Amino acid sequence: MKDLVRAEIYAQMKGMQDEARRLALAAAKEDPTHQAQVRALAVLIKVGALAEAIALAESVVARDPTERLAWRALLIAAEKSGALVLAVKAATELVKLTPDDAELAKRKKRLDEELARGSRARRSA
């Protein structure tokens, strides 16, 4: 748990992002609890380690498909990395888990439209 606390602190410090990433990954590997995994996800996203965040989030939701924070982290990391299909998948799962979240429903609709526009553009090219 010390590694995770240090990772969270280092993520806030200029020039310490690589160390924060390393510590977050180590903490996630050492502690399989949802709390530790989600905290590690937050650090990975904050420092821009999006590929690692996506891999970890996918691992968490594979073990527990009802883990809303991991789905949200997957959505954020996928959006930031430009993985639109994955972002739509994460948003779809989140909407199922939190159907009363109007902002999330709007976000999903925007992602669906963006994905459709991209598909149409590729077909016409």
> Smallest Cα–Cα separation from 101: which of 111, 110, 91, 86?
91
Domain ranges of the chain: 2-124
pLDDT tens digits, residue range 82-118?
Answer: 999 999 999 999 999 999 999 999 999 999 999 888 7
Helices marked H in the chain:
2-11, 17-30, 34-46, 50-63, 68-81, 84-97, 102-124
**Superfamily of domain 2-124, CATH level 4:** Tetratricopeptide repeat domain (1.25.40.10)
What is the tens place of the pLDDT at every residue in 56-86?
A: 999 999 999 999 999 999 999 999 999 999 9
- Do 53 and 43 form a contact (C-beta atoms < 8 A)? no
